[in-house]
Structure 1
Amino acid sequence: MSLRTMTNKSQLAREFAETGKLSSVSMIDMHTHMGAFYGTYLPEAKLETMIRTMERENIEWIISAPHSALFDPVGGNSEIREAMKRHPDKIYGYYVVNPHYDHDLERDLAEFDGVEGYVGFKLLPDYHKYPLTGEKFRKIYEFANERGLLLLSHTWGHSAYNPPQMIAELARTYKNIQFLLGHSAPGETDYAIQLAKSQPNVYLELCDTGRLNGMVRKMVREASSEKVLFGTDFPWYDPHYMLGSVLFSGIGDEDIRNIIHDNAVRLLGNSLKYRALKGNGTQ
């Protein structure tokens, strides 16, 4: 399609179409992983390869939960701590909780505030076959609520373990946690959109679902661009793939900036502020 026939009026979309890169606004990816994943070949899964892609595509920073942590929180959470040490200006981390592991959670929570780069938690209830509202997560929610942290949870419509209705219940109870709906609950995304619209501490996240025709525009129209976050599942998808879904969705440039950059900056800033206050004993 030629630029003359493009109906999208976005100058950012035009910049990308003409240059193959968005240089004027950096991206921030709120949903990433790193490292090998069993049974699958991911050519960009190594940390240094991901860093090169970030530099090439103008990704300012990412928040990540290593693949290893999704199933082995002992080794995996060590991996994200090492990555944050090596690239403190590019990588922030989610602490991953597997409710079936009897590991050093008490110790890790005691040390959490001293780990530079942690901004919240990552949960995968569908994978672990344990519900979001289960008692084993209570300590995590109370801890995160005290600090105003982010909580990215895998969500899926009509799931027994992480439907958006469970997020609604938790968000009303733990008002200081910023809940990120990983994948925005495919199958019940309409409910997720209305939840993000009505609940101040709930956000939609674009990973996978944002590629569906008209979805980004619908989220912005109904919940506003301030409630939509850029996430890609990188290295499963190249971030430019999801960027295209945003740039060519028909929304305005201010909305695009909110989604790919500004919302993340605001949320991360609030999370780090709460952590600093808690660490200094002033909250």
Structure 2
Amino acid sequence: MSLQTMTSKSLLAKEFFETGRLSSISIIDMHTHMGAFYGTYLPEAKLEMMIKAMDRQNIEWIISAPHSALFDPIRGNSDIRAAMREYPGKVYGYYAVNPHYDHDLDRDLEQFDSFEGFVGFKFLPDYHKYPLNGEKYRKIYEFANERGLLLLSHTWGHSPYNPPQMIAELSREYENIQFLLGHSAPGETDYAISLAKERPNVYLELCDTGRLNGVVLKMVQEASSEKVLFGTDFPWYDPHYMLGSVLLSGISDQDIENIIHHNATRLIAVIQAKKQLRKGLNR
């Protein structure tokens, strides 16, 4: 199918290729990082550079876990708090958990609600060599389930630490947590798609996987566009790279809007409403 044919089916794709950006609807990126990463040059890793790129590309807001948080949660979670204070409404945060790191988790959970931008947690079981269903995560699951928070976990097919089958088990045990399958389990993406279709609290996330030919269309056809979230790993990838994968996937403009905007705003609106309710009850 030619580019002209594909863009003729989508007014959003036509707008993007004619103007270089989407102005008619803003983009929300559910999977980002920030800051330097050891041994790698990332031109837009500084938060200020990311904000400039967001403004250029009409990215309304992002949810982020700083690179520093992936291995040192004390430093990293401090960095995301500072970013959320500096850019309220533009930067939301995942609280990152390293199960091998002894830090003040109880204190941080007590203070969690006092930070306006925190919306969930980020796990990296493959990196930390610790399984998603391990006991060290139990307190987080119970906390997140009580509040209906997001849980973005790195997932990979056939991994002993974070296969989609573990998400399946956890999503049944903790029905109020919204589980985001980071990368949609490459190698077992078909299973991940069927899981997102079956479980109301499981979502596919496009970071890295969305670049594969036909996968966005397959996700939408089998699980629906309401179960697919736009994520990029920015600043590892330019957000426009993943946006092109969505715009040229052959899905409808309504499906595109769900993926790049509406699903994210719906999930966050529920979290914020529950938070306001808790505040009212605690007065």
Same fold by TM-score, threshold 0.5 exceeded?
A: yes
DSSP 3-state at the match of 2:93: strand
Q: Distance in 2 between matches of 1:74 and 1:220?
A: 38
Structure 1, unaligned runs of 5 or more: none
- How many positions carry a matched residue from both structures? 282
Displacement of 1:272 in angstroms is: 1.4
- CA shift at 1:277, angstroms? 2.2
Correspondence for 1:30: 30
Q: Supply the distance in 1 between the matched residues of 2:3 and 2:182 (Cα, whole angstroms).
A: 34
1:158 aligns with 2:158: yes
Superposed CA deviations along residues 92-117 of structure 1, whole A, max 9, x for unmatched, are 00000100011000000000011110
Aligned-partner SS, 1:280:
helix
CA contact (8 A) 2:33 2:67 kept: yes
Match of 1:96 in 2: 96
Match of 1:204 in 2: 204
Aligned ranges 1:37-186 → 2 under 5 Å: 37-186=37-186
Using the TM superposition, give the Cα deviation of residue 275 of structure 1 relative to its aligned residue in structure 2, in angstroms. 2.2
Report the alpha carbon displacement of residue 7 of structure 1 after superposing the two structures with TM.
6.3
Give, in angstroms, the shift of residue 2 of structure 1: 7.9
d(CA) in 1 for partners of 2:7, 2:21: 20
Q: Please state how far the C-alpha of 1:4 moved relative to its aligned partner.
A: 4.5
Deviation at 1:281, TM superposition (A): 3.3
- Quote the sequence identity (%): 78
The SS at the match of 1:120 is strand
Scaled by the length of structure 2, the TM-score of the pair is 0.97
Match of 1:15 in 2: 15
Q: Aligned letter for 1:110?
A: E
CA displacement at 1:254 relative to structure 2: 0.2
2:152/2:181 contact within 8 Å kept: yes
Are 2:157 and 2:186, in contact at CA under 8 Å, matched by a contact in 1?
Answer: yes
Deviation at 1:199, TM superposition (A): 0.2
| 1:219 match | 219
Aligned partners of 2:10 and 2:247 also within 8 Å: yes
Contact 1:147–1:278, Cα closer than 8 Å, also in 2: no
Distance, in Å, in 2 between the alignment partners of 1:244 and 1:76 is: 31
8 Å contact 1:77–1:95 — kept in the other structure?
yes
Scaled by the length of structure 1, the TM-score of the pair is 0.97
Give the distance between the partners of 1:100 and 1:254, measured in 2 at CA.
Answer: 43
Asked if 2 retains the 8 angstrom alpha-carbon contact of 1:8 and 1:250, the reply is no
User: Structure 1 residues 4 and 259 mapped into 2: Cα distance closer, same or farther (>3 Å)?
Assistant: closer
- C-alpha deviations, 1:43-68, integer Å up to 9, x for none? 00000000000000000000000000
Note the residue ranges of structure 2 that are not aligned, 5 or more in a row.
none
Per the alignment, residue 268 of structure 1 pairs with: 268
Contact 2:77–2:95 under 8 Å retained in 1 = yes
1:189 Cα offset (Å): 0.2
